Amino acid sequence: MIRTEISLRLGNSPGALAGVCRLLSDERVNILAMTLEAGGQLRLVVDNHVHGGAVLRDHHHHVTERDVIVTMVPNTAGALAPALQLVADADVNVEYAYGGGAEGSVTATIVLGVENAQRAAASAGV
C-alpha cells in the first residue's frame, strides 16, 4: 500500500526524538514506523500524516512528505526476500528501507523508499 512518510531533521541533542514523539502523542497521532539516521534525518509513517505534519510544522519543524510503499510480510525467516524480488523484477530501485516486527508477531511491517511509489507499487504488485 502507498502511505505518506513525514521526514524532518532533528538536532543532535538529548530529548530531540522524545520531543517529536511527545508532540505527536499529545495530538493522538500514532507512529506506525520510524527510522532515525546518524545525521539526524527522521522518517515517520503515521496514521494521520496530514495532522502529524501540521503539528510538527506548528512547532517549527521543517517537514517534507513523500509517498512510500508500506508492506506487511510474514514475520518469518526469508519472508522479505520474495517481496523485494518482486520490486527488483519490476526494475524498481529501493533507495532506503526500514521496518520490523515484534518477536512473536505474525507479521512485520516494511517501509520502502523508492523513486516513484505509485508506479513501483503497481508494477511490483506490492
The pTM of the full predicted model, rounded to 2 decimals, is: 0.88
The CATH classification of domain 2-66, taken from the options 3.40.640.10, 3.60.20.30, 3.30.2130.10, 3.40.50.300: 3.30.2130.10
The whole-number pLDDT of residue 124 equals 67
Maximum Cα interatomic distance, the chain, rounded to a whole number of Å: 43
pLDDT digits (tens, 9 = 90+) for 20-39: 999 999 999 999 999 999 99
- Whether the CB-CB separation of 56 and 25 falls below 8 Å is answered with no
pLDDT above 80 (res 123): no
What confidence category does residue 104 fall into, taking pLDDT thresholds of 50, 70 and 90? Answer: confident
Same fold, 2-66 and 67-124: yes
pLDDT digits (tens, 9 = 90+) for 62-79: 999 999 999 999 999 999
| Environment class of 17 (CB within 10 Å of its CB; exposed 0-12, middle 13-18, buried 19+) | middle
The CATH classification of domain 67-124, taken from the options 3.30.2130.10, 2.40.40.20, 3.90.1580.10, 3.40.50.720: 3.30.2130.10
Domain boundaries, the chain: 2-66, 67-124
Q: Identify the residue with better confidence: 26 or 104.
A: 26
Residue appearing with cell numbers 515484534: 102
